[in-house]
Structure 1
Amino acid sequence: MPDTTALSVSLLANGDETDVRLERTVAAIDWNALASLACSLHAATSSRWGNQLSGGYNVVRFLHLDDANHTVVVARVPYRPDDGWTREYIEAFAPQMSSEVAVMRYVMARTSIPVPRVIHHCIEADGGGVGSPYIMMTKVDGVPLSSIWDDMEDAKREIVLRMVVDILLELASHRFDKIGTIFQRESDDATKQEWYVALTVGSPHDTSIFKDISSRTFTSAVDYWTAYANANLETIRDTNFGSDSKIYSYGHAWFMRSIIPALYDPSLDATGFPICPGDFHSQNIMIIDSDTSPRIAAVIDWELSSPHATSSFAQYPLFIVDHPAWEDGKMITHYANEMFVTKRHLMCLCERLR
């Protein structure tokens, strides 16, 4: 097993030394304990830690096992909070991780959408001796679509977009009876897996608006958005005292609330509420064979995915919509103009496939 001190040094030698969250998290984790657990689950005699990645919320490490299949385990550890894993913080965070695992297992069991397999996870504050909650999952092949999309030929983009649309259509076909958060009931019988929807789970960093609507589930999208709008009005009312723009913000929010019942079509949700991916961005779509016939190898990062209103689900993939760097809605480079032509073509294709 690798030395923990050496691991800490190597983790911080990847250009992330200024990120105090990474440093704090690395120091708190017993990487040997995590590696030992992975070895025991795979009957591996030894292991070695490989590359590490760090994003906005997590540290990800790749563990190479010395087993018959040369398994590579992905260990994902959330950044340690400033005050540590307090009871209040873990109570807010644990359901979020439990739901992510439940969604991944649901998608793997009930759809043809490729996702990483969850090997093991722990939502306890100390991770059962590891020092943090964590998820261990299988490594998937490929590269993020975001790293190759801009340079892909249009014909290959169409291939990828067709697969993206197929994934979205399949997710849209899986409906739940309420807006909320998906969880899985524990069962020793793998043939009797059962999922259910409970109270909405948000991030521990959520604003008061999300906290206000997390106290119940919703069987009506109109009720959900009305509750959301009311919470937004209360937030505007109770903050920014003395601000000149407060009255205009409140008036705008009040107007938006008033038109919800007239604009929303309840028939969209007649068959239930689809699973809305929480982060269906191109960096989470893994592509293989990009030089020949590109295929989606997996969709990763299902955090904060949940049943939601059909209107929220029905959106174009973000990588074919207007870029926020465009000034006043105008394209700023010749390259952007070329991309606009491609984007229009792909959006038309997307419409035909829906």
Structure 2
Amino acid sequence: MFDCPQRRCDRDADVFRSGAVQCELLDDEIPSYTLRSDDQHQLLDPLANELLSTKSMQRLGNIGFLGAIDHLRRGNGKEPHRRKHNRLEHSVGVALLAQKFALSAEIPQVDRLKLLSASLLHDIGHGPLSHTLEPVFEDALGIDHHRATKSIVVGDSILGKEIWEILKSHRLDPEEIINLIDGKHDGSYGYLFSGKINLDTLEGITRCRAIVGRRPAFGTALSVVERWAQSGQSKLPKADFDEFWKLKHNVYALLINSPTGLVMDTVAQAWTRTNLAKMDTLDFYMDERQLRKKHPELFRLISLAAHDTGSLRTRLPTKWLNAEVQARRRRYYVDETVDLTSLADMTLRYKHKKKSWTVSLGELLGGV
């Protein structure tokens, strides 16, 4: 189960489900907090527990949040910077943000349930090692987490129809949930998933910052979302969003696009492409414990990339060392000339630039 430093609502469950509840929400959460798998989640609606009990959702508990990069941590502590993170933790974290927004903004119950469902299910289609192996699966087998998510939610997946049946039992349209997840929903709250800054990125980037080190991030995503809900669409929390955008820049520079992360991703992808004859679509629907059992050499190489690049170099074929890799750098910056007076201003105020260049894997290893 999961927990969150959020005050429980004292109203009884029947009043909560009626949509009449107004929770007293805290704004003093621990700055470096990120949800752990052994926490109790405090998602208040029964729908959440129904979805979380499914095999499809539980599978995410054994799928790393960042893919190969997660193996930089050996899981030797409970603090965020000393342990691995998984997609289930992140999904529940996003759902907690949706709940915080819904209660603070007092949105209708049906919309709250839609947001809750989309938050919990938005990553349900991720495969083992997440974004690391997805390009290989997509090229070789034509599958990625977007397609897999849709097939699971609409009940057209090898993982079964559990999710579809639960949504239908709560009179929710699975196709509408998919539109929310994909940022294509034209309803009143679609922007919470489609915007340049959204519930998914707020939780994910804050979680990434906690992984990097113990220094607190700019604040908790829960606090930001509460202020966002209270401000409405006409007066967005500009200071919070500005700090978040700067945080996103640092996360990409320090972690996601770091040389070590690139080496780990590249090694994992190279092994998988070389061994495609041993892979099939079922591998995509495995969790990482199952994939490790089937392909232990893949995870041994990932571990060496994380902790012993000297030994890794002696294990890799010359062809791999000479292979060209696209290194990337992203710069996220705030355009101060654009004010933030509406949701449309997000695209203009919060910008980023990408730069890529070619380098060999051997050269990357030399710089790690």
TM bracket, shorter-chain basis: under 0.3
Give the TM-score of the pair, scaled to structure 2.
0.23
Higher normalized strand content (fraction of residues): 1
Higher share of residues assigned helix: 2
- TM-score, scaled relative to structure 1: 0.24
